[in-house]
Amino acid sequence: MVFRIRTYNNIAEAGLEAFPRSQYEVGASIEQPDGILVRSANLHQEPLPETVQAIARAGAGVNNIPVEKLSEQGIPVFNAPGANANAVKELVLAGLFMGFRHIAPALAFVAELSGEGETFEKAVEAGKKRFVGRELPGRRLGVVGLGAIGGQVANAARALGMEVVGYDPGITVEHAWRLASDIRQARSLDELLAECDVVSLHVPLIEATRELINERRIAVMPDSALLLNFARDGLVRRSAVLAALAEGRLGAYVTDFPHPELQGQPGVVALPHLGASTGEAEANSAVLAVQNLREFLEHGNIRNSVNFPDVVMPRTDGGRLAVANANVPNMVGQVGTTLAEAGLNIVDLLNRSRGELAYTLIDVDGEVAPDIAGRILAIDGVLKVRSIPPVSGRG
């Protein structure tokens, strides 16, 4: 079987090479695709063919993909969490140094100097007093969100001699294990803000986190604190930050999200969204996105989906059925009954749910004929059914 993949944007070559040419046709002009591979292209108004089984983004955020609409159709959306973590971590550290050592205004000062010889040297010596900075050891960094990126930032800052406090009520066991043992947990966001010299944001933008840093939260922070935002623009209320900078209550704001309101404002360093802009990050993200897509198309397995649960089951010798459905009672029972009526014995089964969606992998002792898959699709609440043939050379 040959799968057809439509690409949007320029996908890193390392990702494209991860598709076996004997099994995949890949390109921007592919018609009737089985899967879509995308970076930043906006798919919200893009008509998607009925043949699409899955969409994978070579990056972390999926704001450019109509996830809710696709969920209603039983189509998983994959992303590449952590693939760009090192790139973003490095830029956060650069932002930390820029904020503490006033590097951006110092560069601007030097660029505007005039004169030669002793006149120039005197101007340098007189001006550098404006840029006296602070060193990192002993300073306290607060990391809000301890996922793939936040965890790396916390560990790197600890290695630089900083004290680190983290806040993440939803931290996973996997991410907790990766943290340095002496990183302390804050009991609340306000507790973290009140005691940290630097605050770095690493949470997704959802309604609960929109304008997470506002007037009230800034008022909790120590005077001259440094705020770093390399996560999402909407996490910070710009007007609150600018007012705090003007009043001297905030030391600096370093962000990866430029905006006309921030241009030319004292105390602001705004970068042009460089967080994941490295060749390595783009390659890592593309490879992981392709791996996610291939696992799903070839075996029905789901890893790193933003709308479906993780469901990964080793293959057996027979065919496999992948069922996406509404998370309501007795769905698995109805599917099992349909298979039994068709004379198919279930060899292995794995069912998981996530919110209103559920997903089931069922291995049987033969191949699932199209009419059987059609009967299962007719069950009320079933969104999508895929019949996956036995692995080549088995069964």
| Catalytic positions | 232, 261, 273
The span from the CA of 202 to the CA of 35, in Å, is 30
The span from the CA of 44 to the CA of 255, in Å, is 27
Structure tokens at 121: 């040297």
With CA atoms as reference, report the closest residue to 361 among 294, 293, 301.
301
What pairs with residue 229 in β-bridges? 201, 255
The span from the CA of 372 to the CA of 362, in Å, is 13
Alpha helix (H) residue ranges in the chain: 13-16, 67-72, 85-101, 103-111, 117-127, 148-159, 173-177, 189-195, 215-220, 238-246, 279-299, 331-341, 370-377
Q: What count of other Cβ atoms lies within 10 Å of the Cβ of residue 295?
A: 17
The span from the CA of 20 to the CA of 76, in Å, is 22
The span from the CA of 216 to the CA of 194, in Å, is 12
Query: Residue 270 in contact with residue 245, Cβ under 8 Å?
Result: no
Structure tokens at 167: 């806040």
Q: Radius of gyration of the chain from Cα atoms?
A: 26
The gap from C-alpha 43 to its chain's centroid, in whole angstroms, comes to 17
Based on the number of CB atoms within 10 Å of its own CB, is 118 exposed (0-12), middle (13-18) or buried (19 or more)? exposed
Query: Residue 370 in contact with residue 387, Cβ under 8 Å?
Result: yes
The span from the CA of 215 to the CA of 243, in Å, is 9
Structure tokens at 50: 């009925």
Instruction: Tell me the backbone φ, ψ of residue 3, rounded to 5 degrees.
Output: -95, 145
Query: Residue 88 in contact with residue 273, Cβ under 8 Å?
Result: no
